[in-house]
Structure 1
Amino acid sequence: MARKRTTPPRQTQARGAKILSAYLENADVFRTAKTNGTTPRGPAVLVLRNRPDFDKKDFDRKARDLVRLGQQGRLSKAKSDRTANNVYHQGGRGTKPGTRTRTNVFRDRVTRRLTRNRRLTQEHGTRETNQYLANKELVERLYGGRGPIRARGEGLDPDHIHELQLDGADTYANLRLMDAWTNRELGREISLALRDVPEGTPVIVRVLP
């Protein structure tokens, strides 16, 4: 029987190695089952931990929600579908009709809400009366999240509270803003941690202090 892993993968413990934000505690069980063509028993145990380059507040909030969803039996490995987040958008102010991701539509809606009086300049109001000025930093991070992100704080992303890769619903109610670097890196590492887990397998989440 494969031994249950209770510590991070060896490469993450080496001196100077990059800290993983997600790994599978019982990865050996799923790797062995995949190799032997058998079906593993029990849930996949996903372990999360904060990285020094993450926004701690956003990571903690995300981790708490995933722990809660796992305890409620609502997490499972979902089928990978690159078009799952696509919706038809009728177009509007400055945008053409067509297929877009729901996260990008959400980003634009939030931006428009924050910049309703965007034509005002600093000479035409104060922070209290000019909504654009009041939300300038937030709006700049939303625009920053449209492109590549190299560090914490460079941008904001709409994040699925209940991860799509963990069978979350692609709805606007399941979206909220999150530090883009933290969101993308954590999502990427969760995907890598679950690569040997069959679709439909229940997932529970633990968080390291």
Structure 2
Amino acid sequence: MPKRRTAPPRQTTAKGAKIVSAYLENADVFRTAKAAGTTPRGPAVLVLRNRPDFVKKDFDRKAKDLVRLGQEGKLVKTKPVRRQLPHKDPKKPGTRKTTTIFRDRLLRQLGRGQNYRSNKGLVDALFRGKDQKRHPVTGPGVTRDPDHIHELQLGGTDTYDNLRLMDAWTNREIGREIGLALDDVPYGTPVIVKVIP
């Protein structure tokens, strides 16, 4: 049986290297099976780890939810499916993503009267996340994004009840690194999640 990795790959712990927030504990099993053209047995064990450039509160909440969903057997590697909804205004062409509509609804609710004054910081962060050309997401604590609680790449649905606000940098980096970690894992494979300090 191949030796299971219990620490991140060596290059991620080298001096000056960026800490990896997601890696596959049993990556060797899936890499070997992919090269041999076979299907590995058992779930993929995804390990999450907080990075110094993440908003810790948001990372902890995301990791806790993914651990719970994995324990409930709800995490499966799938191809992400994003819903495209038509504009309510027939004069506007095209469609909009669920996350865009969710953000716009929040901005409308928070931007009214007394709400705006008490939520100015949140409204500004939501606007910055909306306009990527003028305000690119380059670090934590600047913008807010709608986040899929149950990741789309792990079998989640693109619906409003699966969305909540999260730091944009933390959200995007976790999603990107989970995708990289699961690269050799075939679709339909169950995933369980562990978190290390």
TM over 0.5: yes
- Cα distance in 1 for partners of 2:45, 2:107 equals 37
Task: Find out whether 1:204 has 2:195 as its counterpart.
Answer: no
1:150 aligns with 2:138: yes
User: 1:55-204 maps to which residues of 2 (within 5 A)?
Assistant: 55-81=55-81, 84-91=82-89, 96=92, 98-117=94-113, 130-146=114-130, 147=132, 148-204=136-192
CA RMSD across the alignment:
1.5
**Structure 2 Cα separation of the partners of residues 111 and 26 of structure 1:** 42
Could you tell me which amino acid in structure 1 is paired with residue 125 of structure 2?
R
TM-score by length of 1: 0.88
Kindly tell me the number of residue pairs found equivalent between the two proteins. Answer: 193
1:88: how far off? 2.1
- How far does residue 3 in structure 1 lie from its aligned partner after superposition? 2.2
Where does the alignment leave 5 or more consecutive residues of structure 1 unmatched? 118-129
Residue equivalent to 1:122: none
TM-score, length-scaled by structure 2: 0.94
Which amino acid is 1:169 matched to? T
Distance 1:195 1:71, change over 3 A: same
**Which residue of structure 1 lines up, in the alignment, with residue 14 of structure 2?**
14
How far the C-alpha of 1:135 sits from its partner, in A, is: 1.2
Sequence identity percentage: 68
Post-superposition offset of 1:96: 3.0
Q: Deviations over 1:96-139 (max 9, x none)?
A: 3531110011000000000123xxxxxxxxxxxx3222111110
1:91 Cα deviation after fit: 3.6
Q: For structure 2, list consecutive stretches of 5 or more residues without a partner in the other structure.
A: none
Structure-1 separation of matches of 2:178 and 2:72: 19
- Verify the 8 A CA contact 2:79 2:152 in the aligned structure 1: no
Which 4+ runs in 1 deviate beyond 3 A? none
Highest CA radius of gyration, 1 or 2? 1
